[in-house]
Structure 1
Amino acid sequence: MSADGVTDRRDRILRAASRHFASNHYDKVSTVAIANEAGVNRGWLYHEFGSKRDLYLAVMNRTVRTPTLPSLSGLVASDDLGAAADKVVARWLDEVDSHRESYLALHRVHTGSHSDPVIRGILREMHEGTIDSVLATAMSDPAAAPPAARAVVACFGEFAYQALWEWLESGRLDRSRVQTVLSHALVSLIELVPEVVG
């Protein structure tokens, strides 16, 4: 099989796995169902990924590589912080929408549906990167931020995850309302961080 064929097969498996992990708890996901949806036999699935756990990690890694928040560099210096924050959130929601299944799968892990320490480590790495990105709007060295500042930004992350779930899963908020809520929250966060850092 050509390299393109292998890449296409792997991508089909990952897309199918993302949908299944987003719709079901880890223990309920069937590798047979994933293989059938991807149009491969289960032997190929294990050949490509080794195990169900490795496939799950591949789905999570794919999600982590998706930008979790566009760069906030220069946001504070903008003439209209609200409008600038709104643009950042809009770009982020575009990314989320284009990787909907992966984000739903990520939300299941984030809310405790799986206790694998490796997966938890992937999530922690992603969260810390997002915290650094936000803190960089208020200070030159985010690593030097006091624990309280990191905690405040982490609270925003929890809020954002819930807002995404209300849009993508429950449907109680549409995208426009989520954008409004998160834009205002981001402005408040940016204004609050210097107080906590100081």
Structure 2
Amino acid sequence: MEQVLKEVRAGDIEQFGLIIDAMQKQLFVYCYHMLGHRQEAEDAVQEVFLKAFEQLDSYRHNVSFSAWMYKIAYHHCLNLLNRAKLNRVVTFLRAGIQTVSRHEGEKKIEDTEYLNNPLHVAISKLSVKERNLLILRVVEERSYDELALLFDIKPATLRKQYERALKKCKSYMLVSEGGDRHDSISATR
């Protein structure tokens, strides 16, 4: 990957296609889990690659290139989620009535065929930060050391945050499957 980056920086723009080919599927899965909608994820991935290309000179070798790409993807998805939340509030205020559900984003996720199961519904209820950590740790199989570089947090702190997020997710799953709150807490210990 480092050689490809050198060639792109030297002006061989077509080599950036190799980076896209190598990372497109991973970034799509990540964005899909973060955003909960296929079309939004596809658009986000394109925008992430564009941002990465534009900011390529700012990439430093103290973190892996893939970690740098995930950081761009995280911030982009976070911006999209914040913008969607703001749009719902503005729509609500303009309408002057309570017809806009504050859980509209969750409904969209639940309506998606792929995400219509207790695990994905539970993940959608986590904060963006918790969701990000779970996706990178479980789906993308990133080590705590790599995540520590990415988030500028100690690996032990990340491990604790991960354990809390996982416990919370399990609790949400058990509640959505019909268990009560007491059962879900004792089952995650």
Normalised by the length of structure 2, the TM-score is: 0.32
TM-score (norm 1): 0.31
**Which one scores higher on RCO, CA 8 angstroms, separation ≥ 6?**
1
